[in-house]
Structure 1
């Protein structure tokens, strides 16, 4: 029987692809006496040692720790094969180079003030221009190729840099330059199952997909209506038509990229639900682009700020258990051109929580929480009010009193 190369790899499988998986895990620095395919009698077996290494890799890189090598883990494994200096880097318009080495290069360039924006790990035109500028500044050949000579010069310069998070200050500056009101902002709302590669929690039943999509779509529609009321520019991402609560069709975009339409001055909010094998699991959590394996570095301060403030509002308005804000390296959070955060509204696996999520009034509270959380993100501290005390109606009235920016 031929092997299905699209099937995720998981514990207990015997597949020739596991041999390559073992080799890639070893190259990322994974340790284990029985991990290297040359040291075992059945290198194609996805055994306990491989499972342990995969889970450790997922934990280190902020992925869902399920031991399954699916699309997201595959992508991060491929990106983690290179350290800066292992290969020459350059811009290829047809097939851009990707990897942890590119992300580290972007971080170094950002620390020097040559690169602005998210560290995508993709060597794009913006990275190319930053490299050329670096080479010109250092008196090197300005060809945009990051070879050993360029890396050595970069290392010498970076000894003068003390703050490893300096690049994130540009994100804060960008926030400060924004209007103090949400009315001028573009907000991209993405309900569950409408991302490029939606993740289904391990063990979730067949009906999870439709239930999560229905709940989060309704919250997104309510949020969309409230954002319009306060003068913001909300955009819904959906692969299928969506109507508002009055039956009128809402204009949607098929994916986040087209919704952003090349603008940087936007925020992407992903609405999701969760599932756990334990029926007692409950609460709300948020996720932003951060790097747990580098001392918990926040790579998107705007994403973190929006996520944290939104969670605060949800907890204050619904009484949901606060499960915290977490930095993750998910492609959904790190590959967009605009700050992105994801909100897990609750556990569908908990019948009591599912009942609340099915309640229209509860979903209205969630929508209000998202809108006010976003507004707090743009407000100056002096203008802020206690958590849970402002409604979208209050916000609309307040904005009506303010002069247009």
Structure 2
């Protein structure tokens, strides 16, 4: 849908104001409550900041879904596995976090009541003598509140994720990775800047980087999939990108973007993994984000803008470690000069390949940042 922004009015604006008011984020009481006013924009920005979303003050698809989810608290409704549209909400996330604390495997606490969550609920019900139907109603909720944590110390989700990668070993051959070049359609070019007679767009440069990365990783034996082609006929949503990776059973996802800012001095590279303000995180996603960032900084000299936790759909809804990397600012003259150089983009791609390889090394056998010779990896495989 078109983002709802300041100046808009109607029933949707009234609903948004009501949700924000319930969280004490929209304090003004204008005569026309169905008007998207300055106080609403401030409230939306505060909400987006607290949820790890892009802070633009507009209610687009991701922010709208997050607002709807925020209305629910554990115990307000019965939760169950629904097909095809799963139940989502903060109450689901709270349930998942509680089950994780008790040692049950729900996967990532993503706020989606999927089959893995239903199986964990059924296992809990069986152990406490309830009917194992996989639905969380009043009796199950009462039992959850009566019992304390079963897991003390450590992080069960982190341990499970680490065990998966330890089982793979250091070899990339046969591993599946999804490369997600951001934006893409004619209506969604991302950041665009004029440069002489040329017009550079985030979508085009992200796809070029993704295509180069596809070739390098395929040469290392990985099975590589792109979420879009160079000129998709329609916008590919974050939900579709995440679903593709899940359907393929990918081992990793890397989403490639460039950035832009009204201040031309803003520059550098940043990496993002799934995480929330209450400490829920994808541990292996965080590790991959750190590896990608450090390798790019070491091999290109771009400013290090650090690793950050976000709850964007492409990070939250994927069932594998997923990262998004924003490689420089097209609005920065210095970054743009480098990004539009094919040789520089090759160095960025080599950095990402090195990070992916390091992801499969045991932590105690990891190597120094910038030390992996990517060409040697390909040559070794060719032999």
| TM-score under structure 2 length normalisation | 0.89
- Asked whether the 8 Å contact 2:193–2:330 carries over to 1, the reply is no
Q: Residue 163 of structure 2 aligns to a residue in which SS? A: helix
Q: Offset at 1:10?
A: 1.6
- Could you tell me which of 208, 230, 247 is aligned with 1:261? 247
Number of residues of Structure 1 aligned to a counterpart in Structure 2: 373
Q: Offset at 1:340?
A: 0.8
Report the equivalent of 1:98: 88
Report the equivalent of 1:131: 121
Q: Residue 183 of structure 1 aligns to a residue in which SS? A: coil
Report the equivalent of 1:122: 112
Give the whole-Å Cα distance in 1 for the aligned partners of 2:66 and 2:243.
21
Q: Offset at 1:144?
A: 2.3
Give the whole-Å Cα distance in 1 for the aligned partners of 2:59 and 2:48.
9
Q: Residue 226 of structure 2 aligns to a residue in which SS? A: strand
Q: Offset at 1:19?
A: 1.3
Trace 1:157-236 onto structure 2 (pairs within 5 A).
Answer: 157-163=147-153, 165-193=155-183, 200=190, 211-236=201-226
Q: Residue 167 of structure 1 aligns to a residue in which SS? A: helix
From the superposition, tell whether residues 177 and 136 of structure 1 become closer, same or farther in structure 2 (CA, over 3 Å). same
- Could you tell me which of 325, 328, 331 is aligned with 1:349? 331
- Could you tell me which of 24, 45, 56 is aligned with 1:30? 24
Q: Offset at 1:107?
A: 2.1
Give the whole-Å Cα distance in 1 for the aligned partners of 2:333 and 2:194.
16
Q: Offset at 1:114?
A: 2.7
Report the equivalent of 1:396: 378
Give the whole-Å Cα distance in 2 for the aligned partners of 1:199 and 1:116.
37
Report the equivalent of 1:322: 304
Q: Residue 374 of structure 1 aligns to a residue in which SS? A: helix
Q: Say if 2:377 is the partner of 1:387.
A: no
Report the equivalent of 1:249: none
Q: Offset at 1:326?
A: 0.5
- Could you tell me which of 258, 262, 270 is aligned with 1:285? 270
- Asked whether the 8 Å contact 1:168–1:298 carries over to 2, the reply is no
Give the whole-Å Cα distance in 2 for the aligned partners of 1:354 and 1:10.
30
- Asked whether the 8 Å contact 2:158–2:284 carries over to 1, the reply is no
Q: Residue 270 of structure 1 aligns to a residue in which SS? A: strand
> Which one is further off, 104-113 or 127-136?
104-113
Give the whole-Å Cα distance in 2 for the aligned partners of 1:399 and 1:310.
22
- Asked whether the 8 Å contact 1:61–1:328 carries over to 2, the reply is yes
Give the root-mean-square deviation of aligned CA atoms: 2.7
Give the whole-Å Cα distance in 1 for the aligned partners of 2:367 and 2:140.
50
Report the equivalent of 2:236: none
- Could you tell me which of 3, 9, 13 is aligned with 1:8? 3
| TM-score under structure 1 length normalisation | 0.84
- Could you tell me which of 12, 16, 19 is aligned with 1:21? 16
From the superposition, tell whether residues 226 and 31 of structure 1 become closer, same or farther in structure 2 (CA, over 3 Å). closer
Trace 1:288-299 onto structure 2 (pairs within 5 A).
Answer: 288-291=273-276, 293-294=277-278, 297-299=279-281
- Asked whether the 8 Å contact 2:158–2:282 carries over to 1, the reply is yes
Structure 2, unmatched stretches of 5+, are 233-239
- Asked whether the 8 Å contact 1:282–1:353 carries over to 2, the reply is yes
Report the equivalent of 1:250: none
From the superposition, tell whether residues 12 and 209 of structure 1 become closer, same or farther in structure 2 (CA, over 3 Å). farther
> Which one is further off, 372-381 or 362-371?
372-381
Structure 1, unmatched stretches of 5+, are 1-5, 243-253
Report the equivalent of 1:331: 313
Report the equivalent of 2:237: none
From the superposition, tell whether residues 276 and 238 of structure 1 become closer, same or farther in structure 2 (CA, over 3 Å). same
- Asked whether the 8 Å contact 2:87–2:113 carries over to 1, the reply is yes
